[in-house]
Structure formats: C-alpha cells, structure tokens
Amino acid sequence: MNVHNVYLEKLEPFIRRSTWHTGHQNDLKHFYNGVARSFELIENQFQTSEVRAALSELVDKYHPNFDQTAKEEEITELAEAASTISEFLLLHD
C-alpha cells in the first residue's frame, strides 16, 4: 500500500473545501477524520513528510492560486497536528 496515495485519498475531502485553511471546527473535523482513516490503513508507517507532500499536492490541485507562504504555514501546522494525532492513536490502539 502506497502511503502517499492513502494520504491523498483520505485528506482530499478536507482540502477540497474552500475553507480548509480557516481552522473552522467543521473543517478540522474532516481533517481529523482523514488522518484517523489514513492511520487505520498505514498504522506504523506514519510519515510527517508524506502528509506534507500529500497536502501540498492537494492544495495545488484544488486551490492553485493559494498564497505559497500561507500554504507552507498551514501545511506545517496540519502536518504537526497529524503527527500528534498519530501518536495519540498509537498509544490508544
């Protein structure tokens, strides 16, 4: 199973939303669900770099005019959040 493709598939519903970067609770729910579903499939293969790459690819696909500096900042925050979520899921598996 390709880890990158899992992230692309599971995080796409979150990134497709025009408000993905706002931190709105409904948007974050989609993000958290995507990370959790990804984790179910990849378990110990979690890689922050793959989350970053998938998010960047999806933002470029769905929001090609999004400011690059803001994109990098948002992706960094989301990748860190995904890492925290994965650590929590590992502990409570």
Q: What is the pLDDT of residues 14-70, one digit of tens each?
A: 999 999 999 999 999 999 999 999 988 887 778 899 999 999 999 999 999 999 999
Work out how many domains the chain is built from and give that number. Answer: 1
| Structural domain harbouring 43 | 3-91
What is the length of the chain?
93
pTM of the predicted protein model: 0.91
What confidence score (pLDDT) does residue 47 get?
86
87: confidence class by pLDDT, cuts 50, 70, 90: confident
Specify the 3-state DSSP secondary structure of 17: coil
Specify the 3-state DSSP secondary structure of 47: coil
Q: What is the mean pLDDT of residues 4-22?
A: 95
Is residue 93 within a helix (H) or strand (E), and if so which, with residue range?
none
> Environment class of residue 26 by beta-carbon count within 10 Å: exposed (0-12), middle (13-18) or buried (19+)?
exposed
93: confidence class by pLDDT, cuts 50, 70, 90: low
